[in-house]
Amino acid sequence: MRGLLEWVLVIGLAILLALVTRTFVFRVTRVTGYSMEPTLSHGDVLILNRFSYVFSSPRAGDIVAFPYPDNPSAYFIKRIIAGADDIVDLSNSQFSVNGTPLDDPFSQQPVRHPSDVVSFPVTVEEGRFFVLGDNRNGSRDSRNNTVGNVQGDDMIGKVLVRIWPLSTFGRVD
């Protein structure tokens, strides 16, 4: 009987540790859609670091996950390009932040559709972030009022690593 009780205790602690880790440290998610190509592809499986913003703030260049506005149980995955009080502009198919053209090596195409709803320039509010998909012409992001500037507290976590497919396993920047 004592041996059985020990096994139940060990299994219970393992489940508790897994739940705490999943809730507070890491979360696994799958990319659905093509808005982050070429950086991330449809079907990629990612690990999100939920702990990354406990001691630091999100910053430009981070790829983050946040709840999908129409379905909070699903996530959007986008890249931060600007934070509080930054001024984002779009002119001649080129984004700029505070008057400096955005260094955009992951976005390989000129922006054909500048905005669904938002008019530029945009000043990012305190506690919020302007996010874009790397596939600028195929992304619903901060340019659309249904997404808008993302509240920092709404971010689920920072994309840490791609675990699937194995051929592209590794850190995501």
* DSSP letters spanning 85-113: T-EEEEETTEEEETTEEP--TT--S--SS
The one catalytic residue among 41, 56, 73, 78: 78
- 3-state SS, residue 12: helix
CA distance readout (Å), 20 to 26, 28, 96, 121 = 9, 14, 40, 42
CB of 50 within 8 A of CB of 69? no
CB atoms within 10 A of CB 126: 8
Q: Please confirm, yes or no, whether 73 is among the known catalytic residues.
A: no
Annotated active-site residue 78? The verdict is: yes
Output b/e per residue, 81-102; b: 16+ Cβ within 10 A. bbbeebebebeeeebbbeeeeb
Judged by DSSP in three states, 18 sits in helix
Catalytically active residues are: 35, 78
